[in-house]
A and B are shown apart, each in its own frame.
Chain A
């Protein structure tokens, strides 16, 4: 079967809509039918939610579905699964793993989380110490993960653990899919700066993971993790937003509606940030056009940097603009939200939450290193951990 072109995809989308009219079909049923029709992510293989079509043709399907008001999956709820787990499973999974995991992931029936960071290994992720020891057909995992977003609602986790402490750190890691409902997995809320607990500590004690839930060869987990991390950056840079679609939106509205709050200094800063937000939006649009034209640029790694800084500056300005109101906060009750909510709630929340934008998914400092070394070709940092067995590294 040859992959469909734009016209073919349009026809298939219309057939899907005719067979499962959104008005009368349940949300999950519609999403399942869409997956089975290969219209979930058209560049995935046939039978796995796609049709082997060029990735650039996805907007053709999306536009048809949006026009028909069809239900969509919630990329925020399933963000880690969609943006990170799925491409990794696709690249390294066995046929059985792909069949088992991709459909419920895409439909949103199963939420995923990412068990990467540890108290002693964040930016230096490859230094991680969680152990996985082979025992018959299983691996037995012991260790502690931290800052794990959505662990309290997740069904599955992508997990990296050390399977060989006697080789240098990058070489002794393996990559697993961990069942979050297994005995030995304990999720404790970790309250954060905003007062709520969006992320967690995860304690792994004698967790048995079948070898069939390993992704990629033993000891090559770091390579597999690179696929995950690269996709994390692409999925962050790829979001499409309308003008004033991000954090600049609420502050611009407040400015228009409440002239009594305006000052000259805030006006200058608002305009500067408005322009920068608009330019960031255009840069994202250009990045997507490059992807569609089959010339992906390295801009993706830059977009996260830009948005982190902008979100922080804009939300900071917003709190100031609100004056007396900016002194208040809506609610410090500890909640465990299902969704990560960057722009919701009030200005104080946005200000505090945006502080995480330059830490989560790789800190801005680490991303700057990556841009400098991989995009600009500047010399790499001198290293003293390359040829040392993990167990001999200082901690």
Chain B
């Protein structure tokens, strides 16, 4: 019973009832509409995304507009709610351009701060799920230093996540931020063969393309920074969802699988590995919630919270997926079993929006723990 001084603005690390309701809605939709054989089949087709599922998620549940204010056609909710949706999408490795369009592109546009005009109109279309937009920067970009395209909308960018699904590409150039319609003259989106089968990558090549200029260079830079910060912060929730699925499935499987006349889950070396993983997942949840809450409340701690969450959760997701494959034995190496989808997603996620090492450098900067 020690006396304790309160933190000035303690983050809320729990889930609210409304968030749990949202989770239940998303989960039941995914249970119905997105089973593993279907996901695997889609990854092998030319249409990685299921437009019906996207419609149900984006408009049916209203998930696409969570970050967008009501007056622009969104739900006026926030990052905490979006994080819950992303957790569920991670748990089911759903192919859907949610993180890229409903978070990163949406957040970038919101950061422009315009109440009307083309950016506001585009926001409405994203919020209502009528259009998908992606920020045309490499998926590994942690900050706006990676602007590679010249003012004349000329150049090649990539690998850009979800570009194949995008109706609109948000292109940061030396001259500002442009909205470029996919499929117009001078825009070529070329699919790449990606490690993560459930989140397609492509190069975007612009040759004298035309687009609508949404912001000047300075505003664009800040907006892109904000978009990527939100992306990195909420990616932690995807990593959490992935890791949690891997742990749950591994526990379930090792309880049932018998070798040496015992369930393999009764062997202590395995139990300890799963217990370690549990602790990592529990910790990842605190880190991911902290990042989501910081983004939602506009806390001055946001950059640190996001860097900590990314530096931590990336490793947890990869570790969980690797353990999942290993503890499933031979079945874990098969194409039919979903474990590989999680491993591929987890590994790709560990590079997305900055590697753990990049985020640790941010921690070093913010906490004044400089390199030698």
Residue positions of A touching B, CB distance < 8 A: 40-41, 58-59, 62-63, 65-67, 70, 72-73, 75, 82, 106, 240, 242, 252, 255-256, 259, 262-264, 267-268, 270-272, 274-276, 278-280, 282-283, 285-286, 289-290, 293, 297, 299, 302, 305-306, 365, 367-369, 371-373, 375-382
CB pair A75 B14 closer than 8 Å? no
CB pair A274 B369 closer than 8 Å? yes
Residue positions of B touching A, CB distance < 8 A: 1-7, 10-14, 251, 254-255, 262-263, 265-266, 268, 270-272, 274-276, 278-279, 282-287, 289-290, 308, 311-312, 360-361, 363-364, 367-372
CB pair B308 A278 closer than 8 Å? yes
Known contacts A276-B312, A278-B308, A283-B286; is A302 also within 8 Å of B279 by CB? yes
CB pair B279 A378 closer than 8 Å? no
The CA-CA distance from A252 to B130 in the complex, in Å, is 50
Of the A-B pairs whose beta carbons lie under 8 Å apart in the complex, a sample of 15, sorted by A's number, is A65-B3, A66-B3, A72-B3, A240-B4, A264-B372, A271-B363, A275-B308, A279-B284, A280-B283, A293-B14, A302-B283, A368-B275, A373-B271, A375-B275, A382-B266
Q: Which of A65, A271, A285, A369 counts the most chain B CB atoms within 10 A?
A: A271
The CA-CA distance from A176 to B322 in the complex, in Å, is 49
Residues from chain B with a CB closer than 8 A to the CB of A270 are 369
Residues from chain B with a CB closer than 8 A to the CB of A263 are 372
Known contacts A264-B371, A306-B279, A372-B274; is A286 also within 8 Å of B289 by CB? yes
The chain A residue with its CB closest to the CB of B368 is: A256
Residues from chain B with a CB closer than 8 A to the CB of A242 are 7
State how many angstroms separate the Cβ of B260 from the closest Cβ of chain A.
Answer: 11
- Name the one of B266, B360, B371 contacting A379, with C-beta atoms under 8 angstroms: B266
8 residue pairs, one from A and one from B, having the closest CB atoms:
A66-B3, A372-B271, A262-B372, A379-B266, A371-B275, A286-B13, A282-B286, A283-B286
Residues from chain A with a CB closer than 8 A to the CB of B275 are 367-369, 371-372, 375-376
The CA-CA distance from A276 to B287 in the complex, in Å, is 10
- Name the one of A63, A75, A259, A375 contacting B1, with C-beta atoms under 8 angstroms: A75
Residues from chain B with a CB closer than 8 A to the CB of A264 are 371-372
CB pair B1 A368 closer than 8 Å? no
CB pair A283 B282 closer than 8 Å? yes
The CA-CA distance from A283 to B313 in the complex, in Å, is 13
Q: How many A-B residue pairs have CB under 8 A?
A: 154
The CA-CA distance from A65 to B4 in the complex, in Å, is 9
CB pair A259 B372 closer than 8 Å? yes
Report whether over half of chain A's contact residues are helix, strand or loop; otherwise say mixed: helix
Residues from chain A with a CB closer than 8 A to the CB of B14 are 286, 289-290, 293
Given contacts A286-B14, A372-B272, A381-B266, 9 further A-B contacts (CB under 8 A): A63-B4, A63-B5, A72-B1, A256-B369, A262-B372, A279-B312, A373-B271, A379-B265, A382-B262
Residues from chain B with a CB closer than 8 A to the CB of A279 are 283-284, 286-287, 308, 312
CB pair A75 B2 closer than 8 Å? yes
CB pair B286 A378 closer than 8 Å? no
Q: Which of B7, B266, B279 counts the most chain A CB atoms within 10 A?
A: B279
CB pair A371 B10 closer than 8 Å? no
CB pair B13 A285 closer than 8 Å? yes
Residues from chain A with a CB closer than 8 A to the CB of B311 are 271-272, 275
CB pair A66 B4 closer than 8 Å? yes
CB pair B1 A40 closer than 8 Å? yes
Residues from chain B with a CB closer than 8 A to the CB of A368 are 271-272, 275-276
State how many angstroms separate the Cβ of B160 from the closest Cβ of chain A.
Answer: 29
The chain A residue with its CB closest to the CB of B263 is: A379
The CA-CA distance from A82 to B1 in the complex, in Å, is 9
Residues from chain A with a CB closer than 8 A to the CB of B266 are 378-382
Residues from chain B with a CB closer than 8 A to the CB of A282 are 11, 13, 283, 286-287, 290, 308
Residues from chain B with a CB closer than 8 A to the CB of A268 are 360
Residues from chain A with a CB closer than 8 A to the CB of B265 are 378-379
Residues from chain A with a CB closer than 8 A to the CB of B286 are 279, 282-283, 285-286
